Structures are given as C-alpha cells and as structure tokens.
Chains A and B, each alone.
Chain A
Amino acid sequence: MGVLDGLTPGKRVDGYLSRRGQVLRACIVLTAKLFFADPQWIIPNIIAPFIFTLVAFFLFGGQASTGSFLLYLVLGSGLMGMWGTTIYGSSNSIGFDRWNGTMESTLAAPIPLSWIALGRVLFNTFEGVINALFILVIGLAWFKVGFGFVNPGLFFLASVSTFLSLSAFGLMMCTVILLSRKGGFITNSMEIPVYIATGTMFPVSILPVVALPFAFLLAPTWGIEAIRLSALPGYAGLGTTYWTDLAILAVETAAYLSLAFVLFKRVEAYAKRNGTLEEY
C-alpha cells in the first residue's frame, strides 16, 4: 500500500483574509453538518422563546389581530430565539469540542482559536431563526393574515446587523465560559434577563431606570429598534432614528469583537500554560 506515492503537491492558502475566510467557511459547514446530524439538541434552546411567545399571544389576545401585530410577535420571537441559541450556542461552540474529545485537535490548529469559535457561533446563532419561522407559521395559521414591511431593504439590513451583533456577543460569551468556572452559571442565568433587557417583547422604556444602562449596552437592543422601525408601520420606539440605531449597534459590536479576540488570546495562552482546557 503506497500511502504517499505521488500525493498531489500544491500551494498553501496563505493570505490573511483568505486563510480566515477558509477557516470560517469550514467551521460553519462543519457545525451545520453536526447540527443536521443531531438536530434535537436545539429544542431546549428554542422551547423557551417559543412558549414565551405563545403566552404573549394569549396575553396580547385583546389587541387587534392585525398583520403588524403578528409581525411584532414574530420579530420578538425570532429575536428571543436567536438570543437563546446565541447564549447556549456560544458555550457549545468550543465546549462541544471538549465534550466530543476534539479539544486537542482544535487547539492544535494553525489558526487562532477565535476564528474557529466564530464560525461555530455564526451558525449556532442562525439556528434561532428557526424559532422565528415556527412562530410565523403558527401565527399565519391562527390569524390568517399576511403582513407588509415598511421597508424590506432596510429591514434586511437591520436583521443582518442584529444577527452579526448577536454573534459577536456570543463569541465574547464563549471566552467567558472557557475562562471562568462560573461560565455556565452566567450563561444560564442570562437568558431571561436578556429577553427583557433587549426589548424583545416590550420596549425597554418600561424598564426601571436601573436596568437601562444594561439595556443600552447590549448591541441587539439597538438592532431590534432598527428592525421594528423598518418593519412596523407607525412604530415610535425609543425616539432614535434607524441610522442612529445602526451606528450605535456597529460601535458596540466592534467593541464585543475586540474584547472577544483579546480574551481568546488569553484562552490560548492559558491552554498552553496548562496543556489543556479540560479543567480549570
């Protein structure tokens, strides 16, 4: 058996962007394949948002069952779903490797760990979109209305921006989980508070003043505002304009990413000092 007789030679991929693009794509694809091989793990992560939305359905009950109400609910639900998968998916992104025995393979890769984690987080956050689709289907079946967006183009932009800001947040949470013993506690406790603080089902303006700083520091809060402004007719919101919202979101997302990359360097240094990320 000639193992290497004439193994095809080839140039390596070497550019900064092309390397990272290649790794991102590979991680997204792998996470997607792993997900479809075993989709059931997502169910706990989307059950909460799903049920919360159904309860909201009933509570809203008396309000007009117009298309824009349905849209409001679907959006809120989709965002809760994405939060849910972001929070759990971020721990799953590298935590999964630990559980799966591939931690060493991952740490031995010739690319900074943060890029591998990012690829995974991106797909995991995306799974939350599934929750939105569930609610949409149920809503359409129940209320039998269609709906129109105020501005589909801007809506799409706001959605993608929010999705990216959630992913950046998830990446940051990933390091928290890896670096801290209490990481799991932090992520588990965060779920509902974050539904509240980012105004998924009701505006942050009704929160007690103490909570507002947290709300404003969470980039998705602004993304949700922008989404609603571009989708719901007559939505007043916090009084900011669409572009202001996106600008704040961009700045905060950049901050999350920077923090995440810095923290990942610490994770890698820690792993190398101790030879493992298995326990801390």
Chain B
Amino acid sequence: MSKAQPDLQIAIEVRGLTREYTSRSFFGTVSKVTKALDGIDFSVKKGELFGLIGPNGAGKTTTVKILTTLLTQTSGEAYILGLDVRKDLYEIRRRIGIVFGGERGLYNRVSALDNLRYFSDLYGVEPAVARKRISQLLEAVGLAERADEKVEKYSRGMKQRLHIAKALVHDPELLVLDEPTIGLDPGGARDIRNMIREMQKQGKTILLTTHYMFEAEELCQRVAVISKGKIVALDTPSELKRLVRDISVIELRTYGVTTEYVEVLKQLPNVVRVVAELDSEVQTIRIQSPLGADLLPQVTSALPSDAKIIDRTIKEPTLEDAYLRLVEE
C-alpha cells in the first residue's frame, strides 16, 4: 500500500509542492535560487469547479504545469485522479484535458477538423468513436459550419472554442483551463464561460486559472489565492469576500481625472485602498473605506476643477477587493 491512500472523491491533491529555479553563473556555480512555488497545499473534489487566482508571476502557471505533468516539482506531492504526477505521466495525460489561453496550441494552416482528428489520434481515441465525437463537439461549440476552414481564418473567440473541443475529444474526467478567456471580447468570453458551466454540470472536475476576479466569482465554487508562491487564502468566494466586509466601496465614474487626484484620495484618512483605471474616456475609481458614503464629501471636495464626477455608487466589496487585500499584504 502506498503511504498516500488516494481518496477516490478527490480529483486533485497537492501537498507541500515547491518549485525552485536555479540560475547558474557562467562558471556553473549557483548564483540565484528563485522559489516559484513555496509549499502549496490544496485539494479539489471530483465534480468541483475550482479557481486559482493570483497576480502574474505568483505561481499559477507553475502550479498548472506541474499538475499537467509538464514540469517536475522540486519537492512535494501532487496527485491527479489518484495518480502520481511524477510516475503516471501518460495515464494522467489521457484522462485530463488542457485548455491553454491565447493563440497558441493549434495548427493554423490546416482545418479545425484536421486538428481535432490529429489530437484524437494523439490521445488514443478509437477512430470510429472519434469521428462521432468530433462532429458532436463541433456542433456543441458552434464551429460545425466552418469546420473545414483553415484555423488561421478563425477569430480569436472561435479558436478558443476549438481549444475546448480539442480538450474534450478524449472525454477527460478533469479539465484544466489556463486563463481561457484572455484576450476575448465580452461576447466570446461569455460563450466560453457558459461552456465551462456546462462541462461542470456534466460532472467534470475543472481547475480554472484566471486573473479576472468577476469570472472566478461567477464560476468557481472555491477559490485559492496564490501570491508569491504561497496560497494566502482558500475558500468559497463569499467567504473570501467576508474578509473585506469591514469596508464599503465607493465606485466613481469620472471624467478628466489625473493620477494626482488618485494620490490625494489615497492620502485621505480612513481610505484603505484606491484602485483607478484612468485610461479610457470614462474613468473608474474604486475607493475602499470603512466609512462608505460618509467619505463622499471629502472625495468631492478634493476633485480638481477641470474634472467631473459623472456617477457615484456605494458598493459591496467584491472578490477583487478581497483579492487585492490578500495579495498586497
């Protein structure tokens, strides 16, 4: 009996996972050791939709690569469907589907059909079965009519849908999606999210990484927040939001505001955090403060004369606010 009895209800089990990168100087001596992952523990139940969120470089992609057997860990254990990622590589790969975000991962010069046929063979699906599944999947992701066209002619959203079809062609029990909606327009992203929900309803376990907080909030049953290689929080989205229940959020829509104003806001007493998006014509500023509406007079008086507040709302804190607090500490 192995010392770790795999619980059959657990799809992913991670214990003490670390990953170090050693950079060597020209002479081969060790010059720097970076810890991309510094002891991660979590588990995902079968049929769960689990999210992994964190800033760039926090360790999301490293974790995903280890779990999908593309990268070896420095120490620690990871089990996918009861199988050790270090030993049962090929078996794990046949039972999971991976969806990469972005443009890469498809053969652009041939058709969607060609791509799916190729990957179904690569994953050992019986050809007769593959044929049926491919047409079902193309139908389901809405690419059936353009299946014979070269993928290079597809829009970004269509390519992403093809990625999902490709990940499902061998009927995996577990899906790993690495930032699947990145770079998509709102309509395309919504389609992908609907598909993710569908897949979960079918009983698949899903591990999702994203840096869109609203997406994690909308889709995931539980979320782990990774920062600097460690998990800083792991809970349901509503529980995580309770971390920031002490604050309210004032959301302003403004016009003509500069970073100076944002700096002034940050200096106001009782302001916990200010997040501003000033690049578009209608700007958004979110002010976190326990004072809530009581802060409004100071906010308005600090406004420069050539700027305007178009709209102001008091909001409940979101997962994003909780996330910001967690990763900035």
Direct contact of A and B (CB under 8 A): yes
Residues of B within 8 A of A34 (CB): 107, 109-110
- Which chain A residue shows the least CB distance to B100? A104
A37 to B149, CA, bound (A): 12
Best-buried of A3, A8, A37, A38 by chain B (most CB within 10 Å): A3
Contacts of A109 in B (CB 8 A): 93, 122-123
Residue of A nearest to B204 (CB): A4
B121 touches A2 (CB 8 A): no
Number of interface residues of A (CB under 8 A): 42
Across the interface, A101 reaches (CB within 8 A) one of B65, B69, B105, B122, namely B105
| CB of A241 to closest CB in B, whole Å | 42
| A273 adjacent to B72 (CB under 8 Å) | yes
What separation, in Å, do the CA atoms of A66 and B199 have in the docked complex? Answer: 70
Enumerate chain B interface residues (CB-CB to A < 8 A): 62, 65, 68-72, 89-91, 93-94, 98, 100, 103-110, 114, 117-119, 121-130, 132-133, 136-137, 140-142, 150, 164, 168, 170-171, 194-195, 198-199, 202, 204
CA gap between A3 and B204 in the complex, in Å? 12
How many angstroms from the CA of A12 to the CA of B132 in the assembled complex? 14
Within 8 A of B (CB), among A89-133: 100-102, 104-105, 107-111, 116
Complex interface: chain A residues within 8 A of B140 (CB): 1-4
Cβ of A23: which chain B residues have Cβ within 8 Å of it? 121-122
A265 an interface residue at 8 Å Cβ cutoff? no
A27–B117 alpha-carbon span in the complex (Å): 11
**Are A7 and B104 closer than 8 Å at their CB atoms?**
no
A3 near B202 (CB under 8 angstroms)? yes
- Is B94 a contact partner of A110 (Cβ separation < 8 A)? yes
Across the interface, do B117 and A26 meet the contact criterion of CB distance under 8 Å? yes
A29 at the interface (CB under 8 A from B): yes
- Among A4, A25, A116, point to the contact of B199 (Cβ < 8 A): A4
Residues on A with C-beta less than 8 A from B62 are: 275
The chain A residue sitting closest to B61, CB to CB, is A275
Tell me the nearest residue of chain B to A103, going by C-beta.
B104
Pairs A–B under 8 Å by Cβ, sample size 18: A3-B199, A4-B204, A6-B136, A7-B168, A9-B129, A9-B171, A12-B124, A26-B122, A29-B117, A30-B114, A100-B108, A101-B104, A102-B106, A102-B107, A108-B98, A110-B91, A110-B93, A274-B71
Residue of B nearest to A33 (CB): B110
A-side interface residues toward B, CB under 8 Å? 1-14, 19, 22-23, 25-27, 29-30, 33-34, 37-38, 100-102, 104-105, 107-111, 116, 271-275
Q: State how many angstroms separate the Cβ of B323 from the closest Cβ of chain A.
A: 26
Residues of chain A contacted by B104 (CB below 8 angstroms): 101-102, 104-105
CA distance A262 to B163 in the complex (A): 32
Q: What chain B residues lie within 8 Å of A272 (beta carbons)?
A: 69-72
Complex Cα distance, B137 from A9, in Å, reads 13
Inter-subunit contact B70/A7 (CB<8 Å): no
Give the chain A neighbours of B68 by CB distance below 8 A: 108
CB neighbours (8 Å) of A25 from chain B are 121
Residues of A within 8 A of B91 (CB): 110
Task: Give the chain A neighbours of B118 by CB distance below 8 A.
Answer: 26-27, 29-30
> Which residue from B70, B128, B141, B150 sits with its C-beta under 8 Å from A107?
B70
- Chain B CB within 10 Å, residue with most, of A11, A30, A107, A274: A30
20 other A-B residue contacts (CB within 8 Å) besides A10-B133, A25-B121: A1-B194, A1-B195, A3-B141, A3-B164, A3-B198, A6-B136, A7-B137, A8-B133, A22-B124, A23-B121, A26-B121, A27-B118, A33-B114, A37-B109, A102-B104, A104-B70, A109-B93, A110-B89, A110-B123, A275-B62
**Quick check: A13 and B198 within 8 Å, CB to CB?**
no
Quote the shortest CB–CB distance from A98 to chain B (angstroms): 11
Closest residue of chain A to B106, judged by CB? A102
Q: How far is the CB of B51 from chain A (nearest CB, A)?
A: 19
Pair A12/B125 contact, Cβ less than 8 Å: yes
B199 partner residues in chain A, CB cutoff 8 A: 3-4
Shortest C-beta distance, A63 to chain B (Å), equals: 44
Alpha-carbon distance between A10 and B132 when the two chains are bound, in angstroms: 10
Q: Which of A10, A14, A273 contacts B129 (CB 8 A)?
A: A10
**Contacting pair B132 A14 (CB below 8 A):** no
Q: In the docked arrangement, what's the CA distance between A274 and B66, Å?
A: 11
Q: Are B94 and A12 in contact (CB under 8 A)?
A: yes
Complex alpha-carbon distance, A10 and B120, angstroms:
12
Residues of A within 8 A of B142 (CB): 1
How far, in Å, is B88 (CB) from chain A's closest CB? 10
Most B C-beta atoms less than 10 A away, residue of A5, A33, A105: A105
Residues of A within 8 A of B129 (CB): 8-11
Q: How far is the CB of A225 from chain B (nearest CB, A)?
A: 37
Which one, B70, B150, B195, contacts A108 given CB within 8 A? B70
A39 to chain B, nearest CB (A): 11
Given contacts A108-B93, A272-B71, contact A3 B98 (CB under 8 A): no
| CB-based nearest B residue for A6 | B136
- Neighbour of B124 across the interface among A14, A102, A105, CB < 8 A: A14
Q: Are A13 and B202 in contact (CB under 8 A)?
A: no
The 9 closest A-B pairs by CB, nearest first: A10-B129, A101-B104, A26-B121, A110-B93, A37-B109, A275-B71, A3-B198, A8-B132, A13-B124
